Amino acid sequence: MTFTLSGNSIELFKPSLRAILVVGVFHGDEPQGDYLIRKYLKLYPDTNLMMVPCLNPDGMKMQTRINAAGVDLNRNFPSSNWEISEKNEYYGGDYPCSEIETRFLVDTVEKYSPRAILTLHAPYRLVNYDGDCEAEMLAYKIAKIIGYPVQKNIGYPTPGSFGTWAGIDNKIPVVTLELDEKVSLLNLEKPVFGIFKMLESY
Ligand SMILES: [Zn+2]
């Protein structure tokens, strides 16, 4: 086991069985999710969404995609297509779930069985999904609120990704929202909070 967290902690807010789960900052250089989720929790503390503002606090502190052990968390999930990869910023770890951050999210999903999951990334300005027609429907609802295109295939392979593990292998609808990095955090609030509101009654 590699305990990479160096004094930073991962927080899970409002844990609840079968709730919808929202997760930010798989990649430390995509900090938008942390800001948006924390602000939403402050404004709407009674939300029924289960929320993890920042899965990769070490990476966020270092402003790197990877965590402190040099692993791309979104290549470290125990999916059917995990594979050993080169040690670059997409390194998937020595074995699936080698990272404490990955295990935290796997444990959370297994413990609470969320009925759908939204993950927040940047910078591509698109909505991607993993899973069946329910994931596709949810992706289109989200895309309509924020005005981004739905893109089924992101254009490159993502072995060991969270979407493959949760969406394809475990059949939980997963939507990946790639936020437009050119839009300020303040201007992302309205569409993203609109998406959270929609999810609360989904
Ligand atoms: Zn990302």
Q: What is the pLDDT of residues 143-161, one digit of tens each?
A: 999 999 999 877 778 899 9
Q: What is the pLDDT of residues 51-86, one digit of tens each?
A: 999 999 999 999 999 999 999 999 999 999 999 999
Ion ligand 1 neighbours (CB, 5 A) are 27, 30, 121
123 CA distance to ligand 1 middle (Å): 8
CA 42 to chain centre: 20
**Residue 68 included in any domain:** yes
If one counts every other C-beta atom within 10 angstroms of the C-beta of residue 17, the result is 10
135 CA distance to ligand 1 middle (Å): 19
**Residue 15 included in any domain:** no
Q: What is the pLDDT of residues 82-138, one digit of tens each?
A: 999 999 999 999 999 999 999 999 999 999 999 999 999 999 999 999 999 999 999
118 CA distance to ligand 1 middle (Å): 13
Domain that holds residue 155: 20-200
198 CA distance to ligand 1 middle (Å): 23
50 CA distance to ligand 1 middle (Å): 20
**Residue 11 included in any domain:** no
- CATH number, domain containing residue 88: 3.40.630.10
**Residue 161 included in any domain:** yes
> What is the strand order of the sheet 50-52 is part of?
50-52, 20-24, 116-121, 174-180, 124-130
Q: Per the structure, how many domains does the chain have?
A: 1
74 CA distance to ligand 1 middle (Å): 8
H or E element at residue 196: helix 185-200
**Residue 12 included in any domain:** no
**Residue 10 included in any domain:** no
**Residue 3 included in any domain:** no
159 CA distance to ligand 1 middle (Å): 14
If one counts every other C-beta atom within 10 angstroms of the C-beta of residue 76, the result is 30
**Residue 4 included in any domain:** no
197 CA distance to ligand 1 middle (Å): 23
